[in-house]
Amino acid sequence: MLFVQIVNGLMEGVMLFMVASGLTLIFGVSRIVNFAHGSFFMLGAFLTYQFAPHILPGTMLGFVLTVIMAGMLTAFVGACFEVIVLRRIYHAEELLQLIVTVGMVMIMRDVVRVVWGMNDLATAIPDAMSGAVNVDSYWFPIYNLGVMGIGLLVVVVLWAVVRFTRVGVLLRAATDDRGMVALLGINQAYIFTGVFASGSLLAGIAGGLAAPLGSINFLLDTTVITGAFLVVVIGGLGSLSGAFAAALAIGVLKAVGVLYFPRAAMVTAFVIMAIVLIVRSFKARG
Amino acid sequence: MLIMKDVWASYGHIEALHGINLEVHAGEVVCLIGRNGAGKTSTVRAIVQDEIRVMKGTVEFFGKSLVNLPRREVIRSGIGYVPEDRRVFASLTVAENLSVPRSYGTSRLFDLNEVYELFPKLKELRARVAGVLSGGEQQMLSIARSLLTNPQLLVLDEPHEGLAPVITQQVIAAVNRLKSKGVSMLISEQHVRLIRECADRVYVIDRGHTVFTGTVEELDANTEIARKYLMVTRDSITSERM
């Protein structure tokens, strides 16, 4: 049973990382704490619900295309949000930035309610990915394993882009000192919009992949953002590798925690955060 | 190439410059002298439009006004900037730091090979993360990084700040090599050795405005100004001998 929970936990961890990675990248470069990040996840889920019946329904290819389309549209909305709104407030006070992104949460929630209504919606797991495989006499749903695989692929691609490409170098340079990047003649606007679009893309894809796993409703945003913030804070603001480790740890601890302390599962993550923050503040003091 | 005329500038409501006049001609090395807080860094920042806002006066580079231009446009117009605190990208390797800038100049004098030749130490350290380098090595990296934009004018803000005397020697050597390559430089500097060995002309700044312009010899001849503003630097000579 423990084995099953660990695998489930890892899957949840990978999903959590897909959302949290975007959040931490955006914070690293723009120093904006983007509360609307969960809303992009939600939008990805709703768009997947919307497109799924029209793009080769039931097939694996159709589902992949659906999720990619949902992700791309979410990325477009994210990029518009950055270009139209956030770009004007990078130098503003943090509180103001916070209010703006929280405002975006409200707007997205209302848009979703107007377009898709108040009821829980659901989209089916594509036929090609339904069923389960038997590993060591335990049954694992194929879809969940597939999601974990896709998630890991995203992690590898993201890591390679950040580590080896010029875009990745600029992104890390901007996270270190964005003013200096401008003082070397680089146009930061592209970096900011690019990071925001990529972060939203990841959130949208994660939302799309999560869509068949539970009900889709207008409260998804807050559920997701809480977990993502936990990961980002534990992993260190702006750190991708930290976020990856934190996401897996939280996923597994929550899943295993359910076995032993079923009522305290959610608390576990917050306890870890508290411990990490306390230890870190001691370290900072030396 | 660079002309600042009666420049007044401020950080928010705090005025830092009240009438700076300054010129740098092609091929020249010009030093800015002044006590701490006299406005050297502010003058340099008023050129690259970093943090400070020019309220009055003109800053022109080859006849083009730089006032209120975005920082990246100032750099792209051919000015390389090495800030006071070096500002290397600490989590990037040396090689990655050097891959950030693009060349904007027409001269293409400096490419990666050229820069490694100028600072061989950087080639040795190229796989090292910049954050762990010594102050002097970071200073070399910051200069090298800026050179890769192929600037027509290199602006260095207090390149000796916080460096050991041995390193100072290396920075002076680097400035001289750049000078021999025909790179024009504006250096905000307290260090008397560098001023004497490299500077074609000096400007003395006090309380946000220019109080003296001339060659090093003219500055020495002007006993009143020399006594008033080179006091600090004379001290540093004696401390160096000790």
Give me the residue spans of the domains in chain A: 2-285
Q: What are the E-state strand segments in chain A?
A: 132-135, 138-141
Angle of CA points B210, B183, A176, to nearest 5°: 85
Q: What is the pLDDT of residues A101-140, one digit of tens each?
A: 999 999 999 999 999 999 999 999 988 888 898 888 888 8
CA atoms within 13 A on the CB side of A34: 33
pTM score of the predicted model: 0.88
User: Beta B79-82 vs B29-33: how paired, if at all?
Assistant: unpaired
Say which of B81, B92, B100 has its CB closest to residue A186. Answer: B100
**A166 at interface of B, judged by CB pairs closer than 8 A:** yes
CA-based end-to-end distance of chain A: 42
Query: How confident is residue B156, by pLDDT bands cut at 50, 70 and 90?
Result: very high
Chain A residues touching B70 at Cβ < 8 A? 182
The alpha carbon of residue B133 and the mean position of all alpha carbons in its chain are separated, in whole angstroms, by 21
Cα dihedral B38→B41→B46→B50 (10° resolution): -140
Q: How far is B194 from chain A (nearest CA, A)?
A: 25
- Local confidence pLDDT in tens for the 286 residues of chain A: 788 889 889 999 999 999 999 999 999 999 999 999 999 999 999 999 999 999 998 888 999 999 999 999 999 999 999 999 999 998 889 999 999 999 999 999 999 999 999 999 999 998 888 889 888 888 889 999 999 998 899 889 999 999 999 999 999 999 999 999 999 999 988 999 999 999 999 999 999 999 999 999 999 999 899 999 999 999 988 889 999 999 999 999 888 888 888 877 778 788 888 888 899 888 877 6
Q: What is the pLDDT of residues A35-46, one digit of tens each?
A: 999 999 999 999
Other beta carbons within 10 angstroms of residue A41's beta carbon come to: 30
CB contact under 8 A, B50 and A183: yes
Q: Which domains does chain B have, with CATH numbers?
A: 2-241 (3.40.50.300)
Say which of B70, B96, B101 has its CB closest to residue A184. Answer: B101
Chain B residues touching A185 at Cβ < 8 A? 72, 75-76, 101-102, 104, 149
Tokens in use for A238? 């702006």
- The pLDDT score that the predictor gives to residue B107 is 72
